[in-house]
Structure formats: structure tokens, C-alpha cells
Amino acid sequence: MTKEPFSWAYTDIVKDHFLNPRNFIMGDESKWKADGQGIVGNPICGDQMLVKIRVKNGKISDIGWKTYGCASAIASTSALSELAKGRTLEEADHITAKEICDFLGGLPEHKFHCSVLGHQALHKAIKDYLKKAK
């Protein structure tokens, strides 16, 4: 988080992930075949995130996402996708909002909640995969 709690300033990393999102699902997300998916939303701010994962040998081999929300929400989901890809399910399931925020070089304090949604969606996608794998 930033030292200035009411700052709207974004780091260059946040701007880059907002303008050049990684692993974003273009077009119809139903065509992106996944082993597990999770959807979360925040009715207060209106952000909604969909995270889809593909799993191979116990690791996230691919991840795709769609986010409807602000620049912080989009950048946070993009960063999450970079952090999760290649990790084991257990490792990915332990990614925290703070880890996402730190990866981005910080978020304005009033936007920190945006990073929380991404790891919640990933957690649901992993849970969905594990349920299907039983």
C-alpha cells in the first residue's frame, strides 16, 4: 500500500498491467476451456472477476481471466495471473492480496480491496478443479 492513503497515483507496474493485461481472455470466455473456474464480485464497488485455470501435473499450466472493474482491479487480476502460472495448486492457493499488491509496487489504499477479489476468484477456481478431480 502507499504511504499516502488518499493518493490516486498508480505505479508504473500497475499502469503497465492495466494497459497491457497478461492472460486476459479475449472474446467469449465460454470458449476458453478450463479445468476449474471461480467468479467473485463486490456489490459495493461493482467489480467482478472470473478466473479460469488449466492444470497439468498438479500445477497451473495456464490461467485466463476477465475482470469488470477499475484499473486497480484489472491490474491486480493481471498480476495474479502472472504470479499463479506455473505454481502448484497449493502454492497458488496461498497467494495473498498483499503479495499481489507488493508485486504491483503498491496500490492506493482505497483501492487495496481490488487485489483481494483476484485471489478469492483463484481460490474458487482451484476449489472447483479439486471438486471435479475427485
Report the candidate in 31, 109, 108 with the shortest Cα–Cα distance to residue 66: 31
| Strand boundaries in 2-133, DSSP class E | 36-41, 48-56, 59-68
Active site residue: 80, 114, 121, 122, which one? 114
At 50, the amino acid letter reads L
45 catalytically annotated: yes
How would you class 42 by CB atoms within 10 Å of its CB: exposed for 0-12, middle for 13-18, buried for 19 or more?
middle
| Residue among 13, 39, 45, 130 flagged as catalytic | 45
Distance, in Å, from the CA atom of 104 to the CA atom of 91, rounded to the nearest integer, reads 19
Q: Does residue 114 carry a catalytic annotation?
A: yes
Q: Which residues are catalytic?
A: 45, 114
